[in-house]
């Protein structure tokens, strides 16, 4: 019996990684961005992150108990959803909206599909879309944005996000370049890079998010092709269309979306070629919404739209089987 060959079902590749280990590593990679949110928007940013985390965990545990399923909140996936959802809201938004958005994200976008691994949409982005549709004033009005360092509500002009500021100026017929429009408000590339601008609490600091995603790429938890081709597409398209490509890369939620939302293992394609197609689609949709749409930002909806196409992308980007030889036609 000791010399018998036992054949088991595939896959045969073994790994010590687990869902919990991966989730907590991703959460740790977000620590720089969490610190940046506190640095620029004050302690209220931490409060909103905690509210979202607790709401997601409690909702998941309650639904799993109701369904008489094993409670798996210890795997960290609900915590990660809460952090990412909180990253997508302004610092002055009422706390109860964040709580309801978190409940919706877990209950509808995750558990209604069967739980982790079965959801077709990114739960955090579905939660954001729900909040945006239900409370558009609180999610988009300038009075809920805060100026970095102060934590105080500013007037409508000084607290506008860079994307909204530029889009409004161009819509009003301004002939100034993007850098000139931003310079009037004391905003430059450096401010956009470090996060010293108005915006959602977790999306403004490109630097903090970049530190986190580099660690994930090194550890092999993120496919570098998605952020590379996503951001590259946005850069090239805006440059060819005559817009400031550096501004469109650094401003808004592109970094958060490209580094952490679009790279979600469950809702992104399986193959490398599929991820490239996925990223190119994301870049095209993001620029289209930003340039021609009425909304200044397009990252969230671009990712949700491309999430719908992932099964189709997987179907047509299946890698060739090792050793496969196409049979010759008779």
DSSP calls for 39-106: HHH-HHHHHHHHHHHHHHHHHHHHHHHHTT----GGGSHHHHHHHHHHTTS-TTS-HHHHHHHHHHHH
CB atoms within 10 A of CB 160: 22
Length of the chain: 330
* pLDDT score for 223: 93
Contact 285, 317 (CB under 8 A): no
Nearest to 212 by CA among 28, 35, 78, 76: 28
Contact 194, 185 (CB under 8 A): no
174 HSE (CA, 13 A, CB side): 15
pLDDT digits over 139-181, tens only? 887 666 666 654 454 443 345 788 888 888 887 777 788 888 8
Q: How far apart are CA 35 and CA 55, in angstroms?
A: 21
Q: What is the pTM of this model?
A: 0.89
Give every residue of the chain whose pLDDT is below 70, as ranges.
1-16, 142-159, 322-324, 329-330
Specify the CATH class of 19-316 in words.
mainly alpha
Domain ranges of the chain: 19-316
């Amino acid at each position: 019996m000791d010399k018998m060959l036992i054949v088991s079902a595939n896959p045969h590749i073994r790994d010590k990684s687990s869902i919990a280990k991966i989730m907590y590593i991703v959460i740790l990679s977000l620590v720089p961005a969490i610190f940046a949110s506190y640095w620029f928007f004050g302690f209220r940013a931490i409060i909103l992150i905690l509210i979202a985390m607790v709401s997601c965990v409690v909702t998941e545990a309650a639904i799993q108990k109701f369904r008489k399923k094993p409670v798996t909140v210890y795997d960290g996936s609900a915590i990660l959803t809460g952090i990412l959802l909180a990253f997508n809201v302004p610092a002055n938004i009422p706390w109860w909206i964040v709580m309801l958005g978190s409940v919706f994200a877990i209950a509808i976008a995750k558990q209604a599909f069967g739980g982790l691994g079965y959801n077709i949409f990114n739960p955090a982005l579905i939660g954001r879309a729900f909040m945006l549709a239900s409370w558009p004033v609180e999610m988009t009005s300038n009075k809920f944005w805060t100026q970095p360092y102060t934590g105080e509500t500013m007037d409508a002009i000084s607290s506008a996000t860079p994307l909204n500021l530029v889009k409004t100026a161009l819509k009003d017929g301004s002939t100034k370049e993007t850098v000139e429009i931003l310079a009037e408000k004391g905003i430059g590339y450096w401010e956009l890079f470090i996060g010293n601008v108005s915006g959602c609490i977790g999306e403004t600091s490109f630097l903090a998010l970049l530190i986190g995603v580099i660690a994930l790429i090194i550890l092999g938890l993120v496919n570098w092709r998605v952020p590379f081709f996503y951001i590259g597409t946005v850069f090239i398209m805006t440059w060819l269309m005559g817009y400031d490509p550096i501004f469109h890369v650094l401003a808004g939620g592109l970094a958060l979306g490209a580094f952490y939302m679009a790279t979600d293992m469950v809702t992104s394609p399986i193959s490398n070629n599929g991820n490239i197609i996925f990223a190119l689609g994301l870049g095209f949709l993001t620029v289209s919404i930003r340039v021609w749409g009425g909304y200044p930002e397009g990252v969230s909806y671009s990712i949700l739209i491309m999430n719908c196409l992932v099964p189709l992308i997987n179907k047509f980007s299946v890698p060739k089987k090792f050793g496969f030889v196409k049979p010759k036609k008779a």
